[in-house]
Structure 1
Amino acid sequence: SLSPDQSIAHGAALYAGMLQANRQQAKSVYDRRVSERLRRVQQRSVSARSLGILVRDEQTGRRVPHYLIGANSPLPASVTSVFGTVVPNQRKVHVRIVESGAGSDRPPTVLGDCTVSGLPADLPEGSEIEVTLSYDHQARVHVTAREPLSGVLAEVEILRADNLQRGVVPEESRVAAAEPVAELKSVSATGAAVELGAAPKPEPKPEPKPEPKP
């Protein structure tokens, strides 16, 4: 195995060789077999961390990350998932976009927000909201949140750059919802609201019938 410094140096040398493989100067330096192998190497961009949104866990009342695009996914990537409103007659939805922390023990990092206002009146609890997250080669995150019946939607583009200051999800956001009327919760494939992390409720057992007396 290589140390991190050696891995970076070897990777940089290999990448430089890939870039130079088709140039005349490189052909005069590299062995022909080396040039052929370098030309066959392909570069592929992948996501460094998981990308998702915060949803409310109905069992605990906390906001928890729900990741749509996993770490090491090939880029560009785009995923659409359906979530549900949390109260009847919810008139807006606040979508907070997060990425996974630097380690499994680190909290998610906030990248930005997308708010859908003007939802139709009298929507029942659990009404569907379609959220689409897209990740392109230029480290831009595209977010679309849409109420499918009315077509009301909001879109936002987030420039994700390592040199931008990004906020960690505050403890109060992880413990309790700051805006209970503007959240989303996870929904099942059938569209029914489900509780994140909740175990399925067991089917009620029929009561035994008394045996007839002789």
Structure 2
Amino acid sequence: MIETLEATILGVFTGKARERWDGKAPSAIAKQAATTPLWLSKTGLASDEQADTAVHGGPEKALHHYAADHMAHWATAFPDKAGLFQPGCFGENISSFGLTEANLCLGDVLQMDGATVEICQGRQPCWKLNLHTEIAAMAPQFQRTGFTGWYYRVIEEGEVAAGGAIRLKHRQHPDWPLQRLIKARFDPRLPASEAQELAGLSVLAEGWRAAFARKVDPTYAENTDRRLKG
């Protein structure tokens, strides 16, 4: 019998791609709360956009969920920006209390209002977080803490709205809570055995499987400077 996990959607957020910063690529990270139910398709929410579809959007990044539980941590870490840390501030699509990287696992299937979704990867923070929040350390701190949020693929399409219920339906990989998975993704000294195991998990998004496959080689060293600093 799986753990009973339930939450309420605090907000559903979408954004339009636009020029934000001189000399930088456009971004849709600035999102607004939806005031009506939105259709969640296999590739994401109606009216949501992605500026760079090479690294954002698609079936394995259809929906990004961030735990509002972490906002207090960020307000303490960056007190001069404490007012910034509200649901939707990190470009997430879904915000809730009670579901975090600590109690959700890779492959968890959840009923989300009128849709069914499956957790398939964590978020790899990038330099856009730094510019969007005007905190140069934001993306590195996301990565260090593991408070990155996670992505879903959509199993059954449907409408989602603020106030809708989220409920865990099925757990496939209880040995891989998201906090362990995310730590492994960014661990430069990950044991080859763990990297090999993760590279072979079909529920994991293709990009993350490939990343873990590279980590099997003990001589491999990943350079994250470009992603984190721009």
**Pairwise same-fold verdict (TM > 0.5):** no
Higher relative contact order (Cα pairs below 8 Å, separated by 6+ residues): 2
Q: Return the index of the structure with the highest Cα Rg.
A: 1
Q: Name the structure with the higher helix share.
A: 2
Q: Name the structure with the higher strand share.
A: 1
What TM-score do the two structures reach when normalised by structure 1? 0.23
